[in-house]
């Protein structure tokens, strides 16, 4: 469920305590997030926006003949994470060197270290979010990041728009103070990105308030792995929303194995050698191997539960669940889940 805009309050800005580690630690413990205006260099992000949207224009996502910086989506083109046609272009975007370098900026490393009081490192799996207009059924649902990225509850997500992002373009909203639940809530199948969501009654009982803002380029929202959040729908006529969605952890905390791989590598063959192929520097290549992070296996229980729920819903006639199963089959037709999905779709189509 997407709360109505009248239920959204303004994010609390924390620029006034940016260089005060103790106050930063106290505030994130209280609110479950920290929001900064113009934390990251707008000029760097504008150049990154130009580069990434140019690649998307070459891939057919941005309207031909327009300035890529405007982010005008090609009419009739819509796809999202989980679609092979999305991954084909996304992995071209993923090769961008500046995209990876941006997570290592001095201001970001200092800020996350001040927030935690520990030596922090960006996780290898950087993420770009590329959202088409009026594709609202696939909007990232209400969730906690731990179910996807795992490791520890202390990991920090740093979300930043690559371009101005008014509410109608679909920025992030957080449920203030929701990290204090102290555990992972039940997540269920969703068609949206990540395919997992928290049901309305499970977060409404907390009695907390949703907050967001009209983001501008350089603004950055930081929160730990248990904070409940969501993306708002992109309801613009023709603008694609582009944002960074990176994670940071202490160097002496464990990292889940899948977070040492490129984003969406599981959905089509793509490795670090592909990512680095055209880089003009090797300074950050395989950087995470130097501190010797402890790598732990991925916990598949969250995604397995979501898949089983999708199967049950599809059997009951749920079209979104059936669509989800069809995408799984298309991505990996020989996988065990795909074979189960094929059987279910054959049953309901008889």
Same domain membership, residue 310 and residue 232: no
For residue 328, what are the domain limits? Answer: 300-350
Residues 171 and 109 in one domain: yes
For residues 314-335, give the mean pLDDT.
94
Same domain, residue pair 103 and 246: yes
**Is the separation of the CB atoms in 7 and 203 below 8 Å?**
no
**Residue 216 near residue 38, CB atoms below 8 Å:** yes
Same domain, 203 and 350: no
Q: Which residues pair with 122 in a beta bridge?
A: 248
State yes or no: pLDDT of 2 exceeds 60.
no
Identify whether residues 206 and 305 lie together within a single domain. no
At 76, list the tokens. Answer: 């009739």
CATH of the domain at 194: 2.60.120.620
Per cent of the chain over pLDDT 70 is: 98
Same domain, 275 and 337: no
The secondary structure of residue 227, as a DSSP letter, is: -
- Model pLDDT, residue 12: 98
Q: What percent of the chain has pLDDT over 90?
A: 92
Q: Are residues 208 and 99 in the same domain?
A: yes
* The model's pTM: 0.96
Q: What is the pLDDT of residue 350?
A: 75
Q: Are residues 346 and 228 in the same domain?
A: no
The token duo for 153 is 């509850």
The continuous run of DSSP H or E covering 244 comes out as strand 241-250
Average the pLDDT over 65-71 and give the result. 98
Same domain, yes or no, for 158 and 215? yes
Residue 263: Cβ within 10 Å count: 21
Q: How far apart are CA 115 and CA 275, in angstroms?
A: 30
Q: 205 falls in which pLDDT band (50, 70, 90)?
A: confident
Total number of domains in the chain: 2
- Check whether residue 263 and residue 150 sit in a common domain: yes
């Amino acid at each position: 469920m997407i709360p109505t805009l009248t239920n959204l309050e303004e994010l609390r800005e924390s620029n006034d305590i940016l260089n005060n580690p103790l106050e930063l630690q106290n505030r994130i413990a209280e609110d479950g997030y920290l929001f900064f205006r113009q934390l990251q260099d707008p000029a760097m992000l504008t150049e990154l926006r130009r580069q990434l949207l140019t690649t998307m224009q070459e891939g057919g996502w941005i309207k031909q003949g327009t300035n890529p910086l405007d982010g005008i989506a090609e009419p009739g083109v819509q796809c999202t994470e989980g679609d092979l046609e999305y991954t084909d272009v996304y992995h071209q975007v993923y090769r961008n060197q500046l995209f990876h370098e941006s997570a290592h900026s001095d201001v970001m490393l200092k800020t996350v270290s001040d927030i935690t009081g520990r030596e922090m490192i960006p996780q290898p799996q950087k993420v770009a979010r590329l959202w088409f207009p009026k594709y609202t059924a696939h909007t990232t649902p209400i969730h906690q990041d731990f179910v996807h990225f795992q490791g520890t509850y202390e990991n920090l997500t740093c979300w930043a728009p690559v371009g101005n992002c008014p509410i109608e373009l679909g920025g992030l909203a957080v449920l203030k103070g929701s990290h204090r639940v102290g555990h992972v809530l039940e997540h269920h199948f969703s068609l949206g990105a990540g395919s997992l969501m928290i049901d309305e009654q499970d977060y409404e009982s907390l009695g907390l308030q949703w907050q967001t803002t009209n983001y501008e380029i350089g603004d950055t929202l930081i929160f730990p792995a248990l904070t409940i959040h969501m993306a708002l729908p992109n309801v613009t006529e023709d603008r694609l929303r582009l944002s960074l969605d990176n994670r940071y952890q202490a160097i002496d905390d464990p990292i889940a194995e899948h977070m040492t791989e490129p984003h969406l590598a599981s959905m089509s063959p793509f490795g670090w050698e592909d990512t680095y192929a055209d880089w003009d520097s090797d300074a950050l290549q395989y950087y995470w191997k130097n501190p010797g992070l402890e790598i732990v296996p991925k916990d598949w229980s969250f995604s397995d539960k979501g898949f089983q729920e999708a199967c049950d819903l599809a059997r009951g006639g749920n079209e979104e669940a059936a669509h989800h199963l069809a995408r799984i089959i298309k991505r990996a037709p020989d996988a065990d889940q795909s074979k189960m999905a094929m059987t279910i779709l054959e049953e309901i189509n008889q």
